[in-house]
Structure 1
C-alpha cells in the first residue's frame, strides 16, 4: 500500500497564482512595504506593493500592446535579476504562461524552445540580446516581440526595456478567468537523455508546493528575521518556486545573485547577513574547501537546504563543525514543482543520507521492474502522487503516458528505498543503473582531499563484457591532472570499497562536471565523451 505523508494534510486554495499572491490575506501579516527582492549591489529593490503594482502594469502592457490572450506563452531568457518576478507575475496576471529559458542557451537551442512552446514574446537582458534576436528570427518572431529587463534601461535600437512600455494601473477587471487547473509554467527539462521536454505546471501545482514547504518546514524561518541569498537559477523550477514564489508569499527577502561565484557568494552573505540558502551539492563542496572562505564573516548563515544529489555524512559534519550551519537534504524534480521530500530540521543530523520525509498531501511508493510495489527496505523506482505533480509533457502525449500512471502516480526514474523511520532514500537513476552504485561512489570521492568535484559513469569493457565504473574528476586547486594523481585517488578509494566498486574503468580529469541548472549531473555528456575516448584509443591501438 502506498505510503502517505506523515505530515498533516491541508486545504489547497482553488485560485490562480495572482489571486493567491496578491488578492488573498498575506501570510503572517507582513507589511506591504516589506522588501522582497534586492539586487546584489543593493542599487535596486522591490517591496511587496511595488512587485504587485509593476507586475500588474506589465500585464496591462501585454494585454494592450500584444492583444494578449489566455494561454499565450512568454519566454524569459535571462540570468537571475530583481526584475524577473515582475515579468513572471505580470504575465500570469494577463493569463499567460511563462517558459523560462536557460541563459546559457545558444540561438539554436533557444529557437527550439521558442518554436516548441509557441512563445509570442521573449524577455531578455542586453548582454543576451544578440542571441535572443537570432533565436527569435529562427523561430519566426519579429524583433518587436523581444523585450528587455535588467538594470540597463538605456535605449537600444533592437529592443525596448519593459519599464518604458508599462501601462499605468488601469481600473478594469482582468479580461479572463484563470483557474487553478490552467497552465502557469512550461519548465523545460534539462534534457539529460535527449531533447528538452516542456513540463506543464499548473497554478495549483505551484501553489501546492509553496504551501507544502510552509506546512512541513516553513515554521523554521520568518519574514521579520530571515533573509535568503538567491543563488539557484530562476529559470529552473527549483529556483522559481523557492526563490521567486515562496518568498513572495511568505514575505521573505531574497538577495538576488545573477550567477554563483564563491568569493561573491561569501561577500554577499557577509554584507547582507543572509540566514538561509537553497543550494546544490557543488556549492557545499566549494564552501567546505574554498581557500579564502575563512576571510569572510558567514556567522549569519544558520541553514542550508541541498537538493539534486545525495550528501555524505562526512561533508555535512564538516560544514557544521566549520561554520555552525545546519544542512538538510531535499528532493524533487521539475515534474513535481519541484519538491516532494525534505528532512525535518529536527532530524537534520540523525537522518543524513536520506532525502527526508514525503511532503504533506502526497503518497509515494517504490516499485519493482515488473511494476509491483516493494516493501520498506527493498529497492525500487520511486513513484509519487500529489497536487504538485505536473499535468504532463507539452505536446507529447506518448511521454506523458509513459511517465504518469492511470492512477496519477508519476514515475520519477529515481531508484531507492524507504527506511523504517519513514525517511526516503535515493540511490541511483533507473536509466543509469549498473552493478555498482554511482551515487555512493561520488559521495565517497567527494570526501577525498584531492577531489573538488566528480561524476561516476559506467563504461563498457569488451574484455569483461560489462560496465566498469569510471570517475571524471575535477582536482582540487593546486593539484595538476596526471597519471600519478589518478592513481593516488584510485588507491584512496580502494581502501574504502569492495573490489567491484573500484574504479576499474579508470580516472579521467576534466575542467568541470557537466550539470543541469539544478545541479544534476548530465551523464549523457560524459557517456558521449567516454565513447569518443574509446574510439580514439581503438584508433591508436591499430597504429
Structure 2
C-alpha cells in the first residue's frame, strides 16, 4: 500500500457555510480579500459575505431562482466572481465557469450541456456571448454583465442585489453537501468536446481543508499576500484563487489575465509573497530579461501545477530571485489538488506526497497494484473525488472503479518518502501549458476543412516553452499541393474555430495515411513513434 498522510477532520457542510459560518476564523471581518490593482476596488470579508447574501436573495426574489439552477460564468478574472459564485450557492444553484477564450461553437456546447439558465459575462466578450446565448436558447434578459463596464440594453449583476432591510424571514437554501452540486467544470475528454465534471459542495470543501492542512504551515494572513493570475474558470484557479483567499484570509490582488510586466509590477508594488502559477510563468521568471527591471524580493514562494517542471527551471528561479518553487498535482475530477510538496527541496522535481484523506494507488494495465517505485497508472480515491460526468454515464463508468477510485490516465510512481513522480499518460489528451486538448475534437474540426482527406492529431514537445503542443498529421485531398501555403491554410482553419490553447502550434505534417486499427480507431502511438525526436516547426499563432 502506498503512502498515506494522516487524516484530518472535514465538516460535511456546503461551501458557503464552510467559508462564512465557521465557528471561528483567525482574521478580522475588515480584512481585504480581493482587490483590483487598477481601480483599487476591493472586497473585505464582511462585505463579501453581505454581498453573497444580497445576490442570492435577489436571484430568488427577482428571477424565482430554484435549487440546482445553473449559472454559467463566461468571464476573465474579476473581483466580483467570488461574490457571484457564493451568492448562487446561497440560493441553492450551481455555477459552471466557461473559458473566456471559447468560440461561439465551444460556448454553445458548454451552455447546452450544462443546462445553463443564465450567462454572466463581460463587455469585451459580448460578441461571442450574445451569439452563443441565442443559439443555446438563453433569453437576452438572462445575459448579465459583471466587472467595471456596463452596456446599454443589458442587465448588470448588481441590479439583482436585494438589501438586508428587505430580508424578511428568508434564509439560505438547505444543501446536502455530499450530493448537491456546487460546480459543473468542463474538462477535455479524449473522444471529443469537453465533459462536465460534477463537483459536490463536499468535494470542494474537502479539498479546501486538505490543502489548508499543508499551506497553513507557512502562510499567515498578517504576513502574506497573494497574486491571483491563474484563470478563475479553470479548476486550479477556481479552488486556489477564488476559494482559498477567503478561507485563509489572504489579501489577493486579482489580475484580469497574465502579462509579465504587470505581473512583476504588482509583485513589486504590493509586496506579494506567494502565488500559484502554471509552468510558463516559471519559465518567464527563470529566463525573461523583463524580470530584471523589477524588485521581486518579496516573492518568497511559488506553487506550480497543471504540468511538470524540470529541476533546471526550479533551480534557475531560485538562483535568480531567491524564490522557492514547489510543485503540486491535481485534476478537475479531484477538486483539484491531490499532491503538494511541503518544501521546495524535499522531493525536488516531484509533485510531493498525497494530501490527507486520500487513498492513492499505482496500477498495472491488468489492474494490479504495482510495488513501491514501479510505474503504474495513478488511481485516486477520497472525499474530493468527483460525482461523475454530467450527462455521460459511459464516461463515468469507464473512469471510475466500482469501489470509488478515479483512474487519472497519468503514469507515475511513488518513492520511499511518499513523493509522486508523473512520467507519462495513458490517455491521449495533449497537455498545453496545463490546459487539456482533446485530439478527437481537433480532428472533428479538421474534418470540415476542404484541404483535408484524413487527419490525426498528436502532441509534440516544444522544448523552448517546456510544454506539449498539438500537431496535425494530414492526408491532403487529391489535387492539394503539399506545400507550406496549404499547411498555413489548415492551421488558420483551426485557429478560427477553437479557443487559443487548442491551436495547432505544432503545425501540420503530411502523411501518406493515418494508421488505424481493424475497428477504425486511430493508432496515435504509431504516429508519436514516427515523430519521436521531431524538430518542431512552429506555427506562428
Q: TM-score range by the shorter chain?
A: 0.7 to 0.9
309, 318, 330: which is aligned to 1:332? 330
1:384–1:409: 8 Å Cα contact kept in structure 2? Answer: yes
1:21–1:249: 8 Å Cα contact kept in structure 2? Answer: yes
Where does 1:409-424 land on structure 2 (aligned, <5 Å)? 409-424=405-420
In structure 1, what is the Cα distance between the partners aligned to 2:391 and 2:250? 36
Where does 1:62-141 land on structure 2 (aligned, <5 Å)? 62-141=59-138
- Give how far 1:534 is off: 3.3
Using the size of structure 1 for normalisation, the TM-score is 0.81
RMSD over aligned CA atoms reads 2.9
Aligned residue for 2:56, secondary structure, equals: helix
Q: Determine whether 1:455 maps to 2:468.
A: yes
Q: Assess, with a 3 A threshold, how the Cα gap between structure 1 residues 344 and 444 changes in structure 2: closer, same or farther.
A: farther
Q: Assess, with a 3 A threshold, how the Cα gap between structure 1 residues 354 and 459 changes in structure 2: closer, same or farther.
A: farther
In structure 2, what is the Cα distance between the partners aligned to 1:244 and 1:175? 21
Partner of 2:450: none
Partner of 1:145: 142
Partner of 2:356: 360
139, 161, 164: which is aligned to 2:156? 161
Q: Assess, with a 3 A threshold, how the Cα gap between structure 1 residues 26 and 155 changes in structure 2: closer, same or farther.
A: farther
Partner of 2:4: 5
Q: Determine whether 1:380 maps to 2:376.
A: yes
2:69–2:117: 8 Å Cα contact kept in structure 1? Answer: yes
In structure 2, what is the Cα distance between the partners aligned to 1:275 and 1:247? 13
Q: Can you give the 5+ residue segments of structure 2 that lack an aligned partner in the other structure? A: 431-458, 476-490, 515-541
In structure 1, what is the Cα distance between the partners aligned to 2:428 and 2:512? 21
Moved more, 45-54 or 187-196: 187-196
In structure 2, what is the Cα distance between the partners aligned to 1:171 and 1:336? 39
In structure 1, what is the Cα distance between the partners aligned to 2:416 and 2:513? 49
Q: Flag as ranges the 4+ runs of structure 1 deviating above 4 A.
A: 442-446, 456-462, 524-527
- Give how far 1:37 is off: 0.2
1:312–1:443: 8 Å Cα contact kept in structure 2? Answer: no
Q: Assess, with a 3 A threshold, how the Cα gap between structure 1 residues 213 and 122 changes in structure 2: closer, same or farther.
A: same
2:379–2:405: 8 Å Cα contact kept in structure 1? Answer: yes
- State the Cα deviation string for residues 202-224 of structure 1 (Å, max 9, x = none): 10011111110111232210111
Partner of 1:239: 237
In structure 1, what is the Cα distance between the partners aligned to 2:401 and 2:176? 24
- State the Cα deviation string for residues 80-139 of structure 1 (Å, max 9, x = none): 001111110100000000000000112221111111111101111111122211111101
Partner of 1:172: 169
Q: How many residues align?
A: 466
- State the Cα deviation string for residues 279-320 of structure 1 (Å, max 9, x = none): 100110011111221110101100000011111111111100
- Give how far 1:64 is off: 1.2
Aligned residue for 1:358, secondary structure, equals: coil
- Give how far 1:164 is off: 2.2
Aligned residue for 1:300, secondary structure, equals: coil
Where does 1:291-330 land on structure 2 (aligned, <5 Å)? 291-330=289-328
In structure 1, what is the Cα distance between the partners aligned to 2:125 and 2:22? 36
In structure 2, what is the Cα distance between the partners aligned to 1:433 and 1:30? 42
In structure 1, what is the Cα distance between the partners aligned to 2:316 and 2:460? 14
In structure 2, what is the Cα distance between the partners aligned to 1:367 and 1:536? 34
2:184–2:197: 8 Å Cα contact kept in structure 1? Answer: yes
In structure 1, what is the Cα distance between the partners aligned to 2:473 and 2:93? 47
Q: Determine whether 1:219 maps to 2:217.
A: yes
